[in-house]
A and B are shown apart, each in its own frame.
Chain A
Amino acid sequence: MNSAKLVMRSISKRFGGIAALEQAGLEVRAGEAHALMGANGAGKSTMMNVLGGVVRPDHGQILIDGEVVSFASPTQAKQKGVSFVHQELNMLPSMTVAENVMIDAMPTRGGLVDRKAMRLRTAELLRRLDCTFSPDTLVETLSMGDRQMVEVARALVTDPGIVIFDEPTSSLSEREKRRLFDVVLGLKRDGVAVIYITHFLEEIFEVCDRVTVMRNGTTIETRDMHAITAGEVVTAMLGSVEAEERVRPAFISIEPPLLAASCLSRDGAIADVGFEVRPGEVVGLWGLLGSGRTEILRAIVGLDPLDAGELRWRSGDTLDIIRPDKLHRKVGFVTEDRRGEGLLLPLSVAKNISFGNLDKVKGAFGMIDAAKEKTFASGFVERLRIKLSSLSQPVRTLSGGNQQKVVFARWLGTRPKLFMLDEPTRGLDVSAKTEILRLTAELATEGAGVIFVSSELEEMMRVCDRYLVVHRGRIVANLYGDATKDDLMHAVSDGRVAA
């Protein structure tokens, strides 16, 4: 059972100028569940896309059962026994279980779909997964857990030797999760090599035998699960956090709070979240991906609904209750999806900056004055040192860092007292990152409250004055700006194992 079912050796892949994978390697044995861990952007997806034939590597070798293979398409990978259980449930809800399971490979007879063969094969797979529902059930009537089982059944149709689970539990209840773990154990018994990707650390200690950790496009180490602790996995994922200079010394605000949130809840996303933000401080929401950091931000400004909870906002000497949509009008929100939610890509830089500030660029008869608009925009272009050739060039043609500065410029124009920055440095190069962090500190120094979210701990540690540790939608700890890297890593890994 200890033979290597799959070996991926020195896999490299560049997209444009950016290395997505650099000499990454992975070895998975038949009959083991192998966890593949890594922070956001570490290269897990690209690695699995290489294995699945979706992406062709620039260099490197893949061996299955000792034989060198090379996939030009996902179909070829499938033929060699590689199968995916996707995180997103790509189901056709109005069709039956059997139809969904066999969608890629409908058995035919005389050119027509052989429904009987289809049902028999599906029933056989469902038995293997201990599912009690019939192949004729409509998928839309199934629970999330059962749908996940259908997804697993679909992956097993081809009798694969290698099955990749990508975030299989993110939408499952505790009981449904147990069932999924049983399935993984069953696959192991059948000698299948399972690759298990998740953001939830505690799960890998339950079902996996070994773990390979990826960081920055390469594989850092492979260890036996019983020879590693949760803290060590987190450390390997995040790397040695270099003690880079803070952009400004940690600051303790003694002013009365600007925003007070209490008992915020949204089913399945966040639970009982309460915190305060004071003027002049940068509050970091620290948690791994999927912990609910982004969901907290979105709920505060009404972009996602809230089931319960209360928000209060300072007006004069009192904190008054405020509705999320009203609060939205008072805060500057830099979302994590810059291109999808931050910018209007085909429109000019000037229009992107003035959007939301149009009252300030109006001239005669309340009409937008193009000259005023350009002056307004150019003020921010200078202040934030945005590099461009013309204010009327489409914002899409700017580099990532400059695009992000345009987003900041728009919100700066509205002079909000509170900024919420969700992964503001994502995808930026080192110098652009530093500029954005300096800008963040500058906003706080000028008296604004800032809520800062980042997947990169070293970044948080350069700018945050206080940390709220988020785990599974809850705030589990409150740490001060002098917290060390170890404190923060333990806060997040302890939370995980304890939960």
Chain B
Amino acid sequence: MTVLSQPQTGTISWRALSTFLLPAAIIAALLLVMAFYAPNFFRFNNMMNILVQTSALGVMAVGMSFVMVGGGIDLSIPANMAFSAVMGAIAMRYAGVPGGVMVMLLVGTGVGLFNGAAVALLGMTPFVVTLATMTVLGGTTVWMTNSQSIADFPELFFEIVLARPLGIPVSVAVLVVVTAAASIIFAATTFGRSLYAAGLNARAARVARVNVEAVLLVTYAVSGLLAGVAAVLLTARLGSASANLGNDGVVLDIVSACVVGGISIYGGSGRPVGAVLGALFIIVISNSLNQLGVSFFINLVIKGIAIIAFICLDRISSGAQR
């Protein structure tokens, strides 16, 4: 019997490349360009603005990371977010700020549980189930609101969510807390280990006594809950809730954030902090291209290409691993 200790140079460097080095290099190059062409980019306000913009997307990307590490995908996150926002906005008129916020969180979680039950308990395909949920929720939201925005919230709502204690926006703090909590869950709890196991190899997880169905159900519930959190943050920032919050571009942004952040679309690998860095990456690209005066549509093209490139890296590294 030989002692095998071949260092996994190939796979590890690919993984590191796809999770950290490449996005970092692209951002560095972009920042360099910005320094020349759009110095306004580096103003404190714009930097804060970028972080605030990242917060909602980042929270949703963390939710997606739960689902994706478990081997699934949740396309309904933005639609769920818009739906929860509208439901909560309506509730806020009658039940006040705490009531409205609770409704957003509960509705989000409820939709997540529905997706989770369909995928984990009934064995339906995540892609199709969540695509259908997305359509149902999108339609319902438009129908309920008549395509109008719901505005005029109590001042208290803005005072709380848009506050900047010690100069740090609440939404950024929420993102930090959510990311930290998710990181701990992933790295140091039984649930986290079971989640990686279920995503890597559901059969092996079952033999090792993991209740794979329960784990998957929870991932969708968490992604729903975090869609609700994002609904709170976005509604406060925009001052209104509407069906348009969850437009088609958002789902692309979430998936890109996760893939760029090294969360494997094949399940079983990646960390929530990667998803957040991925979200930051997406926002920085959009924001800087915007400041450079690049058209919104070119922006979409670039994002799409970025996703394909990172999925390609993911394929190469997971192909080498399995």
For the complex formed, measure the closest distance between the CB of A474 and the CB atoms of chain B, giving whole angstroms: 25
**Residue in A closest to B200 when the chains form the complex, CB atoms:** A344
Q: Are B208 and A355 in contact (CB under 8 A)?
A: yes
Which chain A residues border B188 with CB–CB below 8 Å?
Answer: 367-369
Which chain A residues border B207 with CB–CB below 8 Å?
Answer: 303, 333, 335, 341-342
Q: Are A399 and B208 in contact (CB under 8 A)?
A: no
Interface residue tally on B, bucketed by range: 20 to 34
- In residues 123-182 of chain A, which contact B (Cβ within 8 Å)? none
Name the contact of A358 in the complex, choosing from B4, B193, B205 (C-beta under 8 A). B193
B3 at the interface (CB under 8 A from A): yes
CA A74 – CA B114 in complex, angstroms? Answer: 48
**Residue in B closest to A351 when the chains form the complex, CB atoms:** B193
**Residue in A closest to B3 when the chains form the complex, CB atoms:** A387
A389 at the interface (CB under 8 A from B): yes
A410 at the interface (CB under 8 A from B): yes
CA A494 – CA B233 in complex, angstroms? Answer: 74
Q: Which of A34-42, A114-122, A390-398 contacts B (4 or more CB under 8 A)?
A: A390-398
| Total of A-B residue pairs, C-beta within 8 Å | 78
Q: Are B4 and A399 in contact (CB under 8 A)?
A: yes
CA A356 – CA B187 in complex, angstroms? Answer: 15
Q: Are A328 and B209 in contact (CB under 8 A)?
A: yes
For the complex formed, measure the closest distance between the CB of A380 and the CB atoms of chain B, giving whole angstroms: 15
Q: Are A393 and B268 in contact (CB under 8 A)?
A: no
B295 at the interface (CB under 8 A from A): no
**Residue in B closest to A298 when the chains form the complex, CB atoms:** B207
Query: Do A397 and B4 form a contact, CB below 8 Å, given A344-B200, A346-B268?
Result: yes
Which chain A residues border B40 with CB–CB below 8 Å?
Answer: none
For the complex formed, measure the closest distance between the CB of A144 and the CB atoms of chain B, giving whole angstroms: 24
Q: Are A346 and B193 in contact (CB under 8 A)?
A: no
Name the contact of A341 in the complex, choosing from B4, B190, B204 (C-beta under 8 A). B204
Q: Are A389 and B5 in contact (CB under 8 A)?
A: yes
For the complex formed, measure the closest distance between the CB of A14 and the CB atoms of chain B, giving whole angstroms: 17
A454 at the interface (CB under 8 A from B): no
- In residues 323-346 of chain A, which contact B (Cβ within 8 Å)? 328-329, 333, 335, 340-346
CA A401 – CA B204 in complex, angstroms? Answer: 18
Which chain A residues border B79 with CB–CB below 8 Å?
Answer: none
Q: Are B196 and A399 in contact (CB under 8 A)?
A: no
Which chain B residues border A387 with CB–CB below 8 Å?
Answer: 1, 3
Q: Are B204 and A340 in contact (CB under 8 A)?
A: yes
CA A176 – CA B2 in complex, angstroms? Answer: 49
Q: Are A303 and B206 in contact (CB under 8 A)?
A: yes
For the complex formed, measure the closest distance between the CB of A497 and the CB atoms of chain B, giving whole angstroms: 36
For the complex formed, measure the closest distance between the CB of B239 and the CB atoms of chain A, giving whole angstroms: 39
Interface residue tally on A, bucketed by range: 35 or more
Query: Do A402 and B1 form a contact, CB below 8 Å, given A333-B207, A367-B188?
Result: yes
Q: Are A397 and B200 in contact (CB under 8 A)?
A: no
CA A303 – CA B187 in complex, angstroms? Answer: 28
A432 at the interface (CB under 8 A from B): yes
For the complex formed, measure the closest distance between the CB of A155 and the CB atoms of chain B, giving whole angstroms: 32
B315 at the interface (CB under 8 A from A): no
B147 at the interface (CB under 8 A from A): no
CA A333 – CA B5 in complex, angstroms? Answer: 27
Q: Are B209 and A329 in contact (CB under 8 A)?
A: yes
Query: Do A390 and B197 form a contact, CB below 8 Å, given A340-B203, A368-B189?
Result: no
**Residue in A closest to B187 when the chains form the complex, CB atoms:** A368
Which residue, B6, B190, B200, B208, has most C-beta atoms of chain A within 10 A?
B208
Name the contact of B193 in the complex, choosing from A366, A368, A369 (C-beta under 8 A). A368
For the complex formed, measure the closest distance between the CB of A105 and the CB atoms of chain B, giving whole angstroms: 32
For the complex formed, measure the closest distance between the CB of B262 and the CB atoms of chain A, giving whole angstroms: 14
For the complex formed, measure the closest distance between the CB of A29 and the CB atoms of chain B, giving whole angstroms: 44
CA A431 – CA B190 in complex, angstroms? Answer: 35
Which chain B residues border A393 with CB–CB below 8 Å?
Answer: 5
Which chain A residues border B321 with CB–CB below 8 Å?
Answer: 345-346, 396
For the complex formed, measure the closest distance between the CB of B209 and the CB atoms of chain A, giving whole angstroms: 6
CA A274 – CA B201 in complex, angstroms? Answer: 32
CA A474 – CA B65 in complex, angstroms? Answer: 47
Q: Are B1 and A431 in contact (CB under 8 A)?
A: yes
Q: Type the 1/0 row for B1-38, where 1 means its CB is closer than 8 Å to any CB of A.
A: 11111101000000000000000000000000000000
Query: Do A390 and B189 form a contact, CB below 8 Å, given A340-B203, A344-B197, A346-B269?
Result: no
B184 at the interface (CB under 8 A from A): yes
A347 at the interface (CB under 8 A from B): yes
For the complex formed, measure the closest distance between the CB of B94 and the CB atoms of chain A, giving whole angstroms: 39
**Residue in A closest to B204 when the chains form the complex, CB atoms:** A341
Which chain A residues border B206 with CB–CB below 8 Å?
Answer: 303
CA A343 – CA B197 in complex, angstroms? Answer: 9
- In residues 374-416 of chain A, which contact B (Cβ within 8 Å)? 387-390, 393-394, 396-399, 401-402, 410
Q: Type the 1/0 row for B178-204, where 1 means its CB is closer than 8 Å to any CB of A.
A: 000000100111100100110011011
Q: Are A344 and B204 in contact (CB under 8 A)?
A: yes
Query: Do A397 and B5 form a contact, CB below 8 Å, given A329-B209, A341-B207, A345-B322?
Result: yes
A487 at the interface (CB under 8 A from B): no
Q: Are B203 and A347 in contact (CB under 8 A)?
A: no
Which chain A residues border B3 with CB–CB below 8 Å?
Answer: 387-389, 399
CA A394 – CA B9 in complex, angstroms? Answer: 12
Q: Are B5 and A388 in contact (CB under 8 A)?
A: yes
Which chain A residues border B268 with CB–CB below 8 Å?
Answer: 346
A317 at the interface (CB under 8 A from B): no
CA A401 – CA B4 in complex, angstroms? Answer: 11
Which chain A residues border B203 with CB–CB below 8 Å?
Answer: 340-341
Which chain B residues border A341 with CB–CB below 8 Å?
Answer: 201, 203-204, 207
Which chain B residues border A432 with CB–CB below 8 Å?
Answer: 1
Name the contact of A397 in the complex, choosing from B1, B8, B184, B196 (C-beta under 8 A). B8
Which chain A residues border B269 with CB–CB below 8 Å?
Answer: 346
A255 at the interface (CB under 8 A from B): no
A67 at the interface (CB under 8 A from B): no
CA A346 – CA B197 in complex, angstroms? Answer: 10
- In residues 413-449 of chain A, which contact B (Cβ within 8 Å)? 429, 431-432
Which chain A residues border B5 with CB–CB below 8 Å?
Answer: 388-390, 393, 397
Which chain B residues border A410 with CB–CB below 8 Å?
Answer: 208
Q: Are A347 and B189 in contact (CB under 8 A)?
A: no
CA A429 – CA B2 in complex, angstroms? Answer: 11
Q: Are B189 and A343 in contact (CB under 8 A)?
A: no
**Residue in B closest to A389 when the chains form the complex, CB atoms:** B5
Given contacts A346-B200, A346-B321, 18 further A-B contacts (CB under 8 A): A328-B209, A329-B209, A341-B201, A342-B204, A344-B197, A345-B200, A347-B196, A356-B208, A358-B190, A368-B188, A368-B189, A387-B1, A388-B5, A390-B5, A393-B5, A396-B321, A397-B6, A399-B3
Q: When A and B form their complex, which 3 residue pairs have the shortest distance between CB atoms, in order from nearest?
A: A389-B5, A367-B188, A368-B188
7 contacts between A and B (CB under 8 A): A328-B209, A333-B207, A346-B268, A346-B321, A355-B193, A390-B5, A397-B6
